[in-house]
Structure 1
Amino acid sequence: MSFFKKMMAKVGIGNIDIDTQFHTEAFVPGELVEGVIIAKGGSVEQKVDKIYFKIITQYRKPSPSESDPNRMVTESVDIANILLGESLEFAPGQSIEIPFQFVLPHETPISIGVSPIWIRTGMDIDNAIDPSDRDDIEVLAHPHTSAIFEALEDLGFYLHKAENEYFPQHNYHLPFIQNFEFVPYKNSEYSRSVEELELVFYPDNNGVKILMEFDRKARGFSGLLAEMMDMDESHHRYYFSTDELEEGTSAVANQFRGIFNDLLDV
């Protein structure tokens, strides 16, 4: 093995090349992801210490400055790091297929809005530039979240905006939330009483927890005063079990109708 080839591998020339291929085109949080990594050795023998996935997205974060107090920046964050394997040796030019499977974390955001989601495949190799492969993915709503979307649509709300926002929480390992903003259709059941809803979903195997900001419309002078003092906005937590969500769109919509009507009576 020539000294020249070793040096080329250290800077990534003639190094291992990898291509990750997934068995599905769309992904759902909480479901199994399967595929194969196709790796081809470079011009020299190399040992791979680790093979891993990083599930990555971006979120918006305030970063005020003297010239712009409302300045926002975009930051990337690892949703999960998944170790696939260790200690694999490649002979020069050798091709190896590495099958894999893992569960996509429940906290993976949905592909709605402007924030991309991608999976980076990487290999740790001593004394060389680590090869990697990026695959942008489409993440569909978890069935529990879809049931909520359908129920809100049934009540006359539509999704107006979705964004990953900076929101650190002491009992949550990610520094952001995916915030969904719903507004009522014109002339719908709540068009005269509700300004908007903002929801954050925390689905799990047993159901979905919801954080909801309920924004009522100002009604008359007393309503205007409430709006000025931010008393028209109320924050609430709810949990819908799998059994409740599987009762169907109408049943879930009726539960929300009861929640909304109770909040409007306050």
Structure 2
Amino acid sequence: MSFFNKILASVGVGSAKVDAKLSKSSIMIGEKVEGVIDVQGGNVEQAVDEIYLTVNTNYEKEQDDRVINKHVVIATIKLNEPFVIMPGETKTFPFQIEMPLDTPVSVGSSQVWIQTGVDIKGAVDPQDRDIVTILPNNMMDQILNVMKELGFSLRKVKNEEASFKLRKRLPFVQEFEFIPTSGSYYGKFDEVEVMFFLIDDQKIEVVVEVDRRARGLAGLFSEALDLDESIIKFTIEENELHQVKNIFKEILENHS
């Protein structure tokens, strides 16, 4: 029976199981979250090489005139030295994980999850997946509120593949797409896209892409050539956030 159980465990039947438990499921970018991982033994003794955690997300990529969804690992953490789990035994491992500063916010089509895996030689590795909600930090939140104050509504948020000129460590950028729905900028822009690149917990780089609304034949010609788009970058520290509204006003006035 023991030999038969080993054969079954090698294909995942009666093998060890893993379950990650986070202290909370809503996490701010840059925040540390604690948790525990329970490894429960199966029907046979098994040697565990390591336990690992990965932070994951999805993004869109255009390929052959169609959009495909891609997966990317944002961070990886290895937790332990090799150990043996006995049949029916449960071992618990505490952990702490910090959400990287370039983790996308959980809004729109963006999804972030923590994958927990146990590496067992000669067996199907058990895994556990936990969806987490990633919240913007204070600087991002204040900038998003400024757009609302200026009469813009958030239309769409997505993670999209980007060129090396625009992106940083990850192969994509998260775009917050706004449209003017009231105020002095209504009718002047097709859309305004905002992207955030946190430098640290006190400083942020903001990229603004302005898409002007076409006016007349010349405007339509410019729009067809993508000449109506302008990209502006600026860096601001947390103690300068009171200036953000005026910065956006100047950008919008210069490109309206």
Provide TM-score, normalisation by structure 1: 0.88
Query: Out of 117, 126, 147, which is 2:121 matched to?
Result: 126
Give me the whole-angstrom Cα distance separating, in 2, the residues matched to 1:155 and 1:9: 60
Query: Out of 192, 212, 216, which is 2:212 matched to?
Result: 216
Q: Which has the higher mean CA deviation after the structures are superposed, 71-80 or 221-230?
A: 221-230
Q: Note closer, same or farther for the CA distance 1:229–1:3 as it changes in structure 2 (3 Å cut).
A: closer
Query: Out of 78, 81, 84, which is 1:83 matched to?
Result: 78
Q: Which residue of 2 aligns with 1:235?
A: 231
Counting only pairs closer than 5 Å after superposition, residues 125-164 of structure 1 correspond to structure 2 as 125-164=120-159
Query: Secondary structure of the residue that 2:80 maps to in structure 1?
Result: strand
Q: Which residue of 2 aligns with 1:167?
A: 162
Give me the whole-angstrom Cα distance separating, in 1, the residues matched to 2:112 and 2:27: 11
1:31 aligns to 2:34 (yes or no)? no
Give me the whole-angstrom Cα distance separating, in 2, the residues matched to 1:128 and 1:96: 19
Deviations 1:14-52 (A, max 9, x none): 211111111112011110011111221112222211111
1:89 offset after TM fit, Å? Answer: 2.1
Provide TM-score, normalisation by structure 2: 0.91
Deviations 1:115-140 (A, max 9, x none): 32211100111111111001111111
Q: Note closer, same or farther for the CA distance 1:241–1:89 as it changes in structure 2 (3 Å cut).
A: same
Q: Which residue of 1 aligns with 2:203?
A: 207
Give me the whole-angstrom Cα distance separating, in 1, the residues matched to 2:233 and 2:68: 29
1:254 offset after TM fit, Å? Answer: 2.1
Judge conservation of contact 2:9–2:123 (CA < 8 Å) in 1.
yes
Deviations 1:27-78 (A, max 9, x none): 11110011111221112222211111111111111121xxxxx222112111
Give me the whole-angstrom Cα distance separating, in 2, the residues matched to 1:34 and 1:63: 39
Deviations 1:166-186 (A, max 9, x none): 224277332211111111113
Deviations 1:208-229 (A, max 9, x none): 1122211122344554443344
Q: Which residue of 1 aligns with 2:90?
A: 95
Give me the whole-angstrom Cα distance separating, in 1, the residues matched to 2:69 and 2:25: 26
1:255 offset after TM fit, Å? Answer: 2.4
- Percentage of matched positions with identical amino acids: 39
Q: Which residue of 2 aligns with 1:67?
A: none
Q: Which has the higher mean CA deviation after the structures are superposed, 166-175 or 235-244?
A: 166-175
Aligned residue pairs total 254
Judge conservation of contact 2:25–2:131 (CA < 8 Å) in 1.
no
1:6 aligns to 2:6 (yes or no)? yes
Deviations 1:134-162 (A, max 9, x none): 11111111222111101111111111111
Give me the whole-angstrom Cα distance separating, in 2, the residues matched to 1:95 and 1:227: 63
1:81 offset after TM fit, Å? Answer: 1.5
Judge conservation of contact 1:142–1:203 (CA < 8 Å) in 2.
no
* RMSD (Å) for aligned C-alpha atoms: 1.9
